[in-house]
Amino acid sequence: MVATVIILRKTGSGPTTSNITSINTRANTTDIHSTADTTAPIQIPTDTSTKRSFWVVTRLQCTVAPASLIDNIEWYTDGANSFGTGVACIGQQGTSYTQATGTTGDTGLALTTGNYTSLTTDPVNVFTFTSAAPRTITGSTSGTGEFGNSFVYQITVTSDASPGATTQETWTWRFDET
């Protein structure tokens, strides 16, 4: 039987899991999933500092098991930052869940290996991960449930950004199924 796999966003202390497969999730300064939240935007700084979204934790979940195995998990972008001037996105894989935090309506805690201790290495510009050079995500499954490492990312903004909603960027998870 062909497996059924979905993308989860994990939030809160539980954590709560939300199915974000084929939809938008907004990376604002709040630790909830929404497609278009307007209550907790990121404050654009007026000085040389950087403001951030709360980090976004995503992971795969298998709801119908594969005939044999799912492995060779990869994560990538289209390679071009279309968020706009002054906006960047950093990310990395992590081996466990750490709840996002920060100041709602202002900025999130910086995504670093110090603040998110299970990141396998320092977060980098996610647009360096492309279909030709994806981020390899450790893990595999032959059953149901969440599997593999999480991919964690955060949007950052500097003073030259414009207010309002950004365009949507598409992230892709790719894996082999046997």
Partner 1 sequence: MVKKETPQTPGEREDLSAQINTLFQTRKEAIGAYKSAVQNLINSVNTLFKIDDNILNLVIKPKKE
State the distance between the two ends of the chain, measured CA to CA, in whole angstroms. 10
* CA 101 from centroid of its chain's CA atoms: 15
CA distances from 137 to 92, 145, 147 (A): 9, 16, 10
- Six token digits for residue 91: 């990310």
Q: C-beta of 77: minimal distance to partner 1 in Å?
A: 10
In the complex, the smallest distance separating the C-beta of residue 153 from partner 1, rounded to whole angstroms, is 8
In the complex, what is the shortest distance from the CB of residue 99 to partner 1, in angstroms, rounded to a whole number? 18
State the number of CA atoms in the 13 A half-sphere of 58 facing the CB: 24
Q: How far is the CB of 4 from partner 1 (least distance, A)?
A: 10
Closest to partner 1 by CB, 117 or 166: 166
Site residues (vs partner 1, CB under 8 A): 2-3, 5-7, 20-28, 37-38, 41-44, 46, 53, 56, 58, 60, 83, 87, 89, 105, 153, 155, 157, 161-178
Between 61 and 98, whose beta carbon lies closer to partner 1?
61
DSSP state of 178: -
